[in-house]
A and B are shown apart, each in its own frame.
Chain A
Amino acid sequence: DTGVSQNPRHKITKRGQNVTFRCDPISEHNRLYWYRQTLGQGPEFLTYFQNEAQLEKSRLLSDRFSAERPKGSFSTLEIQRTEQGDSAMYLCASSLEGPRTGNEQYFGPGTRLTVT
């Protein structure tokens, strides 16, 4: 399967702990996005990369959150000192920049984080 993959699929952690999620995009895609989705809401944009450069960060992304894409391939999203409000589904998506493609982004299955 050459789609977007995310690991782990589920993570339960205690408040105050650090967690890290990984996303592997579709191999030829140069853009990678992170979203957060809570119950009853659509995905909310967090940040995105073009190759290894982080181009935009939402104000939702507090200083406890950091994302990297060191070699322009996979990406990690780390949350430090987790809070109960961080409980959500964290979605990764990738796309291919090119002559206007309509910005179709292809999503992974998500990582569900539960902070107890």
Chain B
Amino acid sequence: DQQVKQNSPSLSVQEGRISILNCDYTNSMFDYFLWYKKYPAEGPTFLISISSIKDKNEDGRFTVFLNKSAKHLSLHIVPSQPGDSAVYFCAASEGDKIIFGKGTRLHILP
């Protein structure tokens, strides 16, 4: 039973436009949510996180929105750049453990 779901395996976005990656979760006890980015042959790289008591966190081009009532979060990247092409993992933390979704592959088109 997947507790963190990323229902879009891939997404293509034009360079300069907004990329929106979505994530749903089932466990209301998660206290932090995180986004990781992964290039081939590298480990995941931490991007941004949000506490369950907040609804928005922004860091440069990256913004994460949390809707607790819908158990949904999203990562917005604006403007999208070629280097953003990667696999993005949504993850949720309960205590010391992180549970990852399956990832969404983002393609930034020239």
List residues of chain A with CB under 8 Å of any chain B CB.
Answer: 4, 31, 33, 40-45, 48, 50, 55-56, 91, 93, 100, 102-110
Contact = CB atoms under 8 A, between A and B. Distances in A.
A109 B40 CA distance: 10
6 contacts: A4-B43, A42-B89, A43-B44, A91-B43, A102-B93, A107-B44
B32 A110 contact: no
B99 A108 contact: no
A55 B95 CA distance: 12
A104 B57 CA distance: 15
A91 B102 contact: no
Contact of B96 (A40, A55, A91, A106): A55
A45 B97 contact: yes
Contacts of A106: 46
Contact of B51 (A40, A48, A102): A102
A110 B97 contact: no
A70 B42 CA distance: 26
Contacts of B102: 40-42
